[in-house]
Amino acid sequence: MDAVRHSLKNIFGFDDFRRGQEKVVSQLIQGNSALAIFPTGSGKSLCYQLPALHLPGLTVVISPLIALMKDQIDFLLSKGVAAARLDSTLSLDEYRQVWNQVESGELKLLYIAPERLSNEKFSQKLKRFSISMMVIDEAHCISEWGHNFRPDYLKLTAVAQDLKVERVLALTATATPQVAADIRRNFAIADEAYVNIGYYRPNLEIRLSPIPRDEKKHALLKKIQERASGATIVYVTLQKTAVEVADFLVENGLPAMPYHAGFKAEERTRIQDEFMGSPQAIVVATIAFGMGIDKADIRYVYHYNLPQSLENYSQEIGRAGRDGKPSLCEVLANDTDRIVLENFTYGDTPGRESIDSLVEEVFSLGDTFDISIYHLSARHDMRQLVISTLLCYLELEGLIQSTGPFYSQYKYQFLVPLENIMQRFNSERQTFLNSVFNTAHKGRLWMTVDIDKCVNEIGTDRKRVTSALNYLEDQGLLKTQVSGVRLGYKLLQQGVNTHEVCEALYKRFINSETRNISRIRQLGSFITSENCTVRALLSYFGEDLGRDCGHCDRCTGDFNNSLQAELREDLTTEEQRTITNALSLKHAALQRPRQLAKFLCGITSPAASRSRPSLSKHELFASLSQVPFQLVLQSSQEQLQKNQ
């Protein structure tokens, strides 16, 4: 470890490791996979950046955010460390330059998004190189027990094996004991390579304040005005709320800015830069804001709406007070927020009819087939992420196997004259290339090749056509763009009982729904409890403080426990009438109970949002957004049955 400590001092500028870092680094240097659970701002990145310099091959870092990758790379380059990213923002020349660095062995760290590993061409190219370490940031996404499960993460275990990765480092700021056990099982991480430094932050004052829904804006304004100025994040659930609350604060003389994923990248970057550069800035944001925000002097984190889970809450308050100075984190609690969160959770569960129709289609496509998730989403009225999850479940059950994504269209522009390209090849290959180019449709700037049409017309196979176009691009002769992504699969089992498959899938989605609803209910119990807030939060993550914290509002006695869960058993007459009015639309996208309930509760669906005009702009859309989804669903079922 002497050489490692030398790099710690002379490259990164640190005299010593922070808590937990040395143990993680040591395990990786020894060749072991590791799991590091470090709260936000505790130095997770160094745990892989440092050992990567002392490993012979490439370190591949899987990160879900481009902005986060860019910040990390800028930091490493400033230290003289060869690091780069591959993402959709790179130009063709930049993309080639990164691969040249990989091939030469110059590059030490390569950052990518998890979805890129589903690209067969990319994976095949990566297999040519020795990968000393794979780093998985936000590793809780691997586990179905986690609060932010993502299908592409679930495949990373198999990907690591396929790429013959020598060691894996899983990183996360939040993991319950069950999630940690799941991650360790996936990557065979031993006890001594599991490092959890704990979640306790004594400089954070936590307050949970019940505020009636119609008083929230004024309550937030008063709290900000009465407290010393300081950098502030106000978290909200919906994009429109971010804009409304920020506008209200500005009208009352505060320097507030809204932020959400709906803004263009340039606007998000501008707001983020302003926030980073000001000690008094206020950002009112959805959870799209925060990951990768390395600002030490955030003094306040308010939750205008309830956080989505205790995991989210822990991550979000973890952005406050990283400089160790006192900081305040306050939830403006209201039970209507719980209903909205639960409604979105229920709305993510696909209807049984949609599962049945999708599975029947998949198993009718033959031994090998390809599909478009976009088109499946429209046909079966399921969100694309839900379809990806369903297909992933079928893979995990050994029913289908992915052969990777491909594109149905290639667009190209000549970078050199066509005759110069042809001079490079023999007559047979010249004939083949001319045949491909002759099938292209000429546009104003681009020539477009429909791959299926091309294959049928010239009597060849897809691989030869795409390989030729890719080769010409690699040689700098063409500039290409791809579109119309399709996913290829092989059917692994014949004569499958699709009814049993659909039943198992539906139960799996219902179980996921139950877990997510449980998380929201746990959050409600956490907020209404009269016991030490900090101790309860730590207990959720398997940590025992051994005492009350002494500085949360429960410990100081400065709290008002007036938040009561709203338990409703029936809809009002007016709400029943709203459902009747929605039924009278007789819209094709509202023919099933769950479709109707989603529409009324303000949950978009592919069928509703892609209709013309879009149902999401109808006056009845979201008219029952503050009514429990299950009550709306039950009433929708009853009224639809009466009308049959």
Which region among 102-106, 285-289, 361-365 has the lowest average model confidence (pLDDT)?
Answer: 285-289
Contact 632, 339 (CB under 8 A): no
Q: Check whether 271 has a pLDDT greater than 60.
A: yes
All residues at 6 or more sequence positions from 628 whose CB lies less than 8 Å from its CB, including other chains: 339, 342, 343, 568
Contact criterion met (CB below 8 Å) for 187 and 300: no
Average pLDDT over residues 252-267: 91
604: closest CA among 285, 392, 385? 385
When pLDDT is cut at 50, 70 and 90, the band that residue 565 belongs to is low
Is 68 within 8 Å of 290 (Cβ atoms)?
Answer: no
Question: Domains (ranges, CATH) in the chain?
Answer: 2-196 (3.40.50.300), 204-333+529-556 (3.40.50.300), 344-399+492-524 (no CATH), 406-483 (no CATH), 573-643 (no CATH)
DSSP 504: H
pLDDT at 218 exceeding the cut of 60: yes
- As to burial, measured by CB atoms within 10 angstroms (0-12 exposed, 13-18 middle, 19+ buried), residue 557 is exposed
Q: Residue 406 — φ and ψ, nearest 5°? A: -150, 175
Asked if residue 58 lies in contact with residue 132, where contact means CB atoms within 8 angstroms, the answer is: yes
What mean pLDDT comes out for the span 120-125?
77
pLDDT tens for 579-601 read 999 988 889 889 899 999 999 99
What is the pLDDT at residue 396? 81
Asked whether 34 and 24 are in contact (CB, 8 A), the reply is: yes
Angle at 511 between CA 509 and CA 516, to 5 degrees: 95
Confidence of residue 180 (pLDDT cuts 50, 70, 90): very high
Closest-CA residue to 534 (of 310, 332, 339, 346) = 310
pLDDT beyond 80 at 82:
yes
- Non-local (6+) Cβ contacts of 302 within 8 A are 220, 223, 232, 233, 234, 235, 329, 330, 331, 332
Tokens describing residue 270: 């501008």
Q: What is d(CA 150, CA 375) in angstroms, rounded to the nearest whole number?
A: 21
Residue 333 pLDDT exceeds 80: yes
Quote the pLDDT of residue 562.
Answer: 64
Percent of the chain with pLDDT over 70: 97
pLDDT of residue 455: 94
Query: Which of 255-264, 395-404, 447-456 has the least mean pLDDT?
Result: 395-404
pLDDT at residue 355 tops 80: yes
Q: Which residues of 38-72 are buried (b: 16+ CB within 10 A; e: fewer)?
A: bbbbbbbbbbbbbbbbbbeebbbbbbbebebbbeb
So what's the pLDDT on residue 143?
81
Q: What is the mean pLDDT of residues 333-359?
A: 89
Residue 5 vs residues 104, 192, 283: alpha-carbon distances, Å: 27, 21, 39
Residue 629 pLDDT exceeds 60: yes
Considering only residues 287 and 411, tell me which one the structure prediction assigns the higher pLDDT: 411
pTM: 0.81
Instruction: Assess contact for 467 and 382: CB atoms under 8 A.
Output: no
What percentage of the chain's residues is helix, strand, coil (to nearest 5)? 50, 15, 35
Q: For 445-466, how does the pLDDT look when each residue is reduced to its tens digit (9 = 90+)?
A: 999 999 989 999 999 988 899 8
User: Which pLDDT band holds residue 336 (cuts at 50, 70, 90)?
Assistant: confident
In the predicted structure, residue 498 carries a pLDDT above the cut 70: yes
Give CA torsion, residues 166, 170, 176, 177, to 10 deg: 20
Structure tokens at 263: 């803004």
User: Which single residue is written with the structure tokens 């600002």?
Assistant: 295
Query: Which residue bears the tokens 């000429």?
Result: 442
Tokens of residue 379, six digits: 């046909």
Nearest to 348 by CA among 375, 393, 386: 386
Mean pLDDT score across all residues of the chain: 90
d(CA 321, CA 295): 9
The predicted structure's pLDDT at residue 563: 61
Residue 566 has pLDDT above 80, yes or no: no
Look up residue 440 and give its DSSP letter: P
Given a cut of 90, whether residue 290 has pLDDT beyond it is: no
pLDDT surpassing 70 at residue 292: no
The per-residue pLDDT for 152 is 77
More confident position, 40 or 408: 408
Average pLDDT value for residue range 233-261: 94
Residue 260 CA to residue 242 CA, distance in Å, equals 7
Residue 103 has pLDDT above 60, yes or no: yes
How far, in Å, CA of 392 to CA of 508, rounded? Answer: 12
- Rounded to an integer, the average pLDDT of 520-538 is 90
Quick one: pLDDT band at residue 641, thresholds 50, 70, 90? confident
Rounded distance between C-alpha atoms, residue 72 and residue 80, angstroms: 13
Helix H or strand E segment including 441: strand 441-442
Q: Which helix (H) or strand (E) holds 24?
A: helix 21-29
Cα end-to-end span (Å), the chain? 74
Question: Mean per-residue pLDDT for 427-432?
Answer: 94
The number of C-alpha atoms within 13 Å of 536 and in the hemisphere containing its C-beta is: 20
- DSSP character string of 374-390: HHHHHHHT--HHHHHHH
Q: Can you tell me the mean pLDDT for 202-229?
A: 94
Share of the chain above pLDDT 90, in %: 63
Residue that has been written with the tokens 């304040």 in this structure? 209
Name the pLDDT band for 222 (thresholds 50, 70, 90): very high
Contact in structure between 62 and 156 (CB atoms under 8 Å):
yes
